[in-house]
Structure 1
Amino acid sequence: MKELRPITVNVDELLAVNKYEVDEESAHIELASDNYSELPAEEWGKLVRVCPAALYREDAEGNRGFDYAGCLECGTCRIACEGTVVRKWVNPAPMMGVQYRCG
């Protein structure tokens, strides 16, 4: 009988093959404040944990960062924190956003 081996997937490698057309004129995600430290810590923590593209970040010193450019357009941030941290989430304009190249 043939031995079954687990399949390992490197998510970073798979994401790297996607193509992104970033709309510099109109961000499809807007946060409730441009000063990320003003946003509720508990809500920000949710976003850090749930965003599959790791667009929401917080380092060991508590410095926060956000960049919509690598968005996978899943809408998880909108579901988790619309009305608290996420002020606006819309689909990117036609021909903008992510173009999946794998799967």
Structure 2
Amino acid sequence: MSVVVKVEEKLFQNRYKVDSGRPHISIIDEDKCRNHCEAQACTVCCPAACWTAEANGQVTVISDGCLECGTCRIICDEHSNVAWEYPRGGYGILFKFG
């Protein structure tokens, strides 16, 4: 018998050390997200749900739970509107199982 484990349950096992005031991901030009990117794919493709589409079309990013996978950089390739770097040493995601 196989056991079904939801992604959310697996993600809950990870821990994060937040570098307060120094996010490692940011939006370069917020106007580009609001007025030139119809898909806003970053808001649905991020496995950690760090990206959110607001009712007014604004996209916000909160990197506190980021998995550092780089999906947002890849999905925003058309507009190249994501400033992304790894967190400083000792900060970011702490994987429990690897």
The TM-score normalised by the length of structure 1 is 0.74
- 8 A Cα contact 1:21 1:97, kept in partner: yes
2-structure distance, mates of 1:99, 1:81: 25
Q: How does 1:74-85 map to 2 (within 5 A)?
A: 74-82=69-77, 83-85=79-81
Distance 2:95 2:75 in 1: 23
Cα distance 1:53–1:98, how it changes in 2: closer, same or farther (>3 A)? Answer: same
Q: Distance in 2 between matches of 1:99 and 1:78?
A: 21
Moved over 4 A (4+): 34-37
What RMSD over aligned residues (CA atoms) do the two structures have, in Å? Answer: 2.5
Largest Rg, 1 or 2 = 1
Over the matched positions of the two proteins, sequence identity in percent amounts to 32
CA distance in structure 1 between the aligned counterparts of 2:37 and 2:2, rounded to whole angstroms = 38
Q: Which structure 1 segments of 5+ residues have no match?
A: none
Aligned to 2:89: 94
Question: Does structure 1 retain, via aligned residues, the 8 Å contact 2:73–2:80?
Answer: no
Q: Alpha carbons of 1:79 and 1:29: their partners in 2 closer, same or farther (altered >3 Å)?
A: same
The equivalent residue for 1:49 is 44
State the SS of the aligned residue for 1:74: coil
1:102 and 1:55 mapped to 2: Cα distance?
21
Q: Return the match for 2:11 from 2, 8, 15.
A: 15
* Residue aligned with 1:65, SS: strand
CA deviation after TM superposition for structure 1 residue 16, in Å: 1.4
CA deviation after TM superposition for structure 1 residue 62, in Å:
5.0
Give the letter for the 1:66 counterpart: V
Aligned position for 1:40: 36
2:61 — aligned with what? 66
